């Protein structure tokens, strides 16, 4: 039996969980219906799985089917607890602080922060259990890949295999491309600067349209990966071609200035909104047909089909950034086992099942055969909505987050355009150039205070720059001044020290 982390045992035994009973899971009831599947076998444990996604109408039905399948194979059942994406971080902070019991959870550097969860002892170390209880999952990835999930020598999250690299590029509406005959012109673009001359034609078209308002939402293109850098923490980056792995302040690089100057040019030309558009509002505007382009998404095999399924608008995407294999890319989607779990071994057996059994995995992702989906071409693993439904959104089960649940390369294809995408994606992962710090994880504990200050400065002074609201010359100078006042050079010094030690240890 695996021993729980001492801090979490202390919290549980002192009654902190009971003290926090008024928050955490109870707060979810107003957002998401609580569903409790009756276990197929009453004496079997039930694993509580916290999922960052919208609740589905047929949650109970799918939960029961999953439980029946699990019951026979690992001696456990499942409870699916959906938390709305916009509330996920706040809810998880409350749940973890109260030491409420659960078993499995989605975690990543970008949401329900993986490294914070590790530092706060909210997750179990999985190394020994993965080797013993999940050999198929373990062997499905190289030891080098698993190294990316290691923090201070231990692995605390099961890697959900998907596209690890991030060849960023624009997603453009097909109808606009074809009407303006710009398909070949966009296909030949190799940098965002080359797109500017084409935007004038699109803007003229938008001005004559009753629905379209702007070329894009204005989310900005100052994305570190897009410009050839491996993002680390607190605005620090490693140039992908720098084998000496020197930590740089991204806002001091030439590439950052170029991105900000382009954003400013597009803002002044009216290509993007004059006000900040929140992400959820931008998504709704895109689905409503108000924008021509999503400026920077991950361009991948089958990605256009996924965009169509999600947004309902046919698009074509073009890669601009070079695919780079980074620690952040590998750890972008993880499943952790809570240190409050009473059944950590069963939770790891679940991870083995969901990552190695395509039938079970697709039941979680796609629902029940005959009820939610049916075969369109079983030989090619192509499915379609069951019962003649117009789309998967109409069948009662469509979380559309396969990448959050496990190995997407086991996923059935939900459109003709997707068929064959998984082998192509796996090849893209295998052939991408590795970052010079692949496998390095920054321990932020020595500079937590400085990182908090740097993050606040980035939000206050960096965001307006990214959106084009501020003159680049004055704005970048002010940003860098404030970052240094906040202690970014201290963070840079500490990161470089850790990188140098890591390089020496892995020489």
Name the maximum alpha-carbon separation found in the chain. Answer: 68
Instruction: Check whether residue 75 and residue 93 sit in a common domain.
Output: yes
CATH of the domain at 94: 3.40.190.10
Give me the pLDDT at residue 14, please: 41
Give me the pLDDT at residue 26, please: 35
Establish if 221 belongs to a structural domain.
Answer: no
Q: Is pLDDT at 415 greater than 90 in this prediction?
A: no
Instruction: Give the residue from 64, 41, 42 showing the smallest Cα distance to 364.
Output: 64
Q: Is pLDDT at 194 greater than 90 in this prediction?
A: yes
| Angstrom distance (rounded) from CA 49 to CA 45 | 13
Q: What is the per-residue pLDDT across 442-461, written as a single tens digit (0 to 9) for each?
A: 888 899 999 999 999 999 99
Domain containing residue 391:
366-431
Establish if 119 belongs to a structural domain.
Answer: yes
Interhelix angle 59-74/358-366, rounded to 10 degrees, is 160
- C-alpha pair distances (Å), 414 with each of 63, 117, 161, 191, 387: 21, 34, 18, 32, 15
Phi, psi (deg, nearest 5) at residue 50: -95, 120
Percent of the chain with pLDDT over 70: 92
| Angstrom distance (rounded) from CA 377 to CA 155 | 39
Instruction: Give the mean pLDDT of 102-109.
Output: 96
Give me the pLDDT at residue 42, please: 66
Instruction: Check whether residue 352 and residue 401 sit in a common domain.
Output: no
| Angstrom distance (rounded) from CA 196 to CA 365 | 40
Task: Answer with the one of 400, 431, 462 that is the final residue of a domain.
Answer: 431
Instruction: Give the mean pLDDT of 327-348.
Output: 95
Instruction: Check whether residue 353 and residue 398 sit in a common domain.
Output: no
Instruction: Check whether residue 76 and residue 115 sit in a common domain.
Output: yes
Establish if 337 belongs to a structural domain.
Answer: yes
Instruction: Check whether residue 13 and residue 74 sit in a common domain.
Output: yes
Establish if 108 belongs to a structural domain.
Answer: yes
Instruction: Check whether residue 37 and residue 66 sit in a common domain.
Output: yes
How does the average pLDDT of the chain come out, rounded?
88
Instruction: Check whether residue 30 and residue 89 sit in a common domain.
Output: yes
Q: Does the CA dihedral 215-217-219-223 come out positive or negative?
A: negative
Instruction: Check whether residue 338 and residue 406 sit in a common domain.
Output: no
Question: Which of 394 and 445 is assigned the larger pLDDT?
Answer: 394
Q: Is pLDDT at 219 greater than 90 in this prediction?
A: no
Instruction: Give the mean pLDDT of 220-230.
Output: 89
Instruction: Check whether residue 39 and residue 12 sit in a common domain.
Output: yes
Q: Rounded to an integer, what is the distance from CA 12 to the centroid of its chain? A: 30
Q: Does the CA dihedral 101-103-104-109 come out positive or negative?
A: positive
Give me the pLDDT at residue 25, please: 38
Confidence of residue 431 (pLDDT cuts 50, 70, 90): confident
Interhelix angle 344-356/59-74, rounded to 10 degrees, is 100
Instruction: Check whether residue 345 and residue 403 sit in a common domain.
Output: no
Task: Answer with the one of 379, 407, 431 that is the final residue of a domain.
Answer: 431
Least confident residue range of 292-301, 337-346, 479-488: 292-301
Domain total for the chain? 2
Instruction: Check whether residue 74 and residue 158 sit in a common domain.
Output: yes
DSSP assignment of 222-259, as one string? --GGGGTEEE-STTEEEETT-TT--EEEGGGSHHHHHH
Q: Is pLDDT at 19 greater than 50 in this prediction?
A: no
Task: Answer with the one of 401, 431, 461 that is the final residue of a domain.
Answer: 431
DSSP assignment of 135-187, as one string? HHHHHTS-HHHHHTTEETTEE-EEE--S--S--EEEEEEHHHHHHTT-HHHHH
Phi, psi (deg, nearest 5) at residue 129: -70, -40
Establish if 73 belongs to a structural domain.
Answer: yes
Establish if 450 belongs to a structural domain.
Answer: no
Confidence of residue 308 (pLDDT cuts 50, 70, 90): confident
Q: Is pLDDT at 2 greater than 50 in this prediction?
A: no
CB neighbour list of residue 309: distance below 8 Å, 6 or more residues apart: 391, 392, 400, 414, 415
Establish if 179 belongs to a structural domain.
Answer: no
Instruction: Give the mean pLDDT of 307-333.
Output: 88
Establish if 177 belongs to a structural domain.
Answer: no
CB neighbour list of residue 209: distance below 8 Å, 6 or more residues apart: none
Q: What single DSSP character describes residue 461?
A: I
Beta partners for 46?
A: 77
Q: What is the per-residue pLDDT across 25-54, written as a single tens digit (0 to 9) for each?
A: 333 333 334 444 444 456 899 999 999 999
Instruction: Give the mean pLDDT of 330-342.
Output: 96
Confidence of residue 507 (pLDDT cuts 50, 70, 90): confident
Give me the pLDDT at residue 75, please: 96
Instruction: Check whether residue 91 and residue 153 sit in a common domain.
Output: yes
* CA atoms lying within 13 Å on the CB side of residue 167: 18
Q: Is pLDDT at 101 greater than 70 in this prediction?
A: yes
| Angstrom distance (rounded) from CA 306 to CA 308 | 5
Confidence of residue 18 (pLDDT cuts 50, 70, 90): very low
């Amino acid at each position: 039996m695996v021993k729980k982390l001492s801090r979490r045992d202390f919290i549980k035994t002192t009654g902190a969980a009971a003290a926090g009973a008024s928050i955490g899971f109870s707060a979810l009831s107003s957002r998401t219906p609580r569903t409790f599947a009756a276990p197929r076998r009453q004496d079997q444990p039930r694993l509580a799985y916290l999922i960052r996604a919208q609740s589905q109408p047929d949650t109970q039905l799918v939960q029961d089917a999953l439980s029946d399948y699990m019951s026979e194979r690992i001696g456990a059942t499942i409870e699916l607890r959906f938390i709305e994406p916009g509330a996920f971080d706040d809810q998880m902070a409350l749940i973890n602080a109260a030491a409420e019991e659960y078993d499995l959870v989605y975690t990543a550097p970008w949401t329900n922060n993986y490294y914070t969860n590790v530092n706060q002892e909210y997750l179990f170390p999985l190394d020994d259990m993965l080797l013993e209880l999940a050999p198929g999952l373990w062997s499905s990835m190289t030891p080098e890949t698993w190294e990316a999930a290691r923090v201070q020598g231990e692995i605390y999250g099961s890697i959900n295999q998907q596209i690890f690299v991030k060849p960023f590029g624009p997603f453009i509406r097909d109808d606009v491309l074809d009407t303006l005959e710009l398909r070949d012109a966009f296909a030949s673009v190799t940098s965002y600067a080359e797109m500017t001359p084409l935007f004038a034609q699109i803007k003229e078209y938008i001005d004559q349209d009753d629905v379209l308002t702007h070329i894009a939402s204005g989310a900005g293109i100052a994305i570190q990966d897009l410009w050839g850098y491996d993002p680390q923490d607190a605005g620090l980056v490693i140039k992908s071609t720098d084998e000496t792995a020197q930590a740089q302040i991204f806002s001091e690089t030439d590439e950052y200035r170029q991105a900000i100057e382009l954003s400013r040019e597009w803002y002044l030309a009216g290509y993007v909104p004059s006000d900040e558009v929140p992400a959820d509002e931008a998504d709704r505007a895109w689905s409503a047909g108000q924008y021509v382009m999503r400026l920077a998404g991950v361009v991948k095999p089958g990605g256009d089909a996924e965009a169509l399924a999600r947004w309902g608008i046919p698009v074509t995407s073009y890669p601009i950034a070079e695919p780079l294999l980074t620690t952040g890319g590998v750890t972008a989607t993880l499943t952790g086992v809570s240190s409050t779990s009473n059944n950590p071994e069963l939770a790891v057996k679940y991870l083995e099942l969901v990552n190695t059994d395509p039938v079970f995995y697709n039941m979680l992702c796609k629902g029940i055969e005959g009820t939610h989906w049916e075969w369109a071409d079983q030989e090619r693993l192509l499915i379609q909505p069951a019962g003649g439904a117009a789309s998967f959104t109409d069948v009662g089960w469509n979380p559309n987050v396969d990448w959050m649940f496990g190995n997407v390369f086991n996923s059935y294809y939900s459109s003709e355009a997707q068929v064959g995408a998984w082998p192509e994606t796996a090849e893209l992962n295998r052939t991408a150039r590795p970052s010079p710090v692949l496998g390095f994880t920054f321990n932020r504990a020595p500079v937590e205070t400085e990182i908090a200050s740097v993050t606040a400065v980035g939000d206050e002074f960096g965001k307006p720059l990214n959106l084009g609201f501020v003159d680049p010359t004055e704005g970048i100078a002010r940003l860098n001044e404030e970052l240094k006042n906040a202690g970014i050079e201290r963070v840079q010094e500490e990161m470089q020290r850790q990188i140098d030690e890591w390089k020496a240890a892995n020489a």
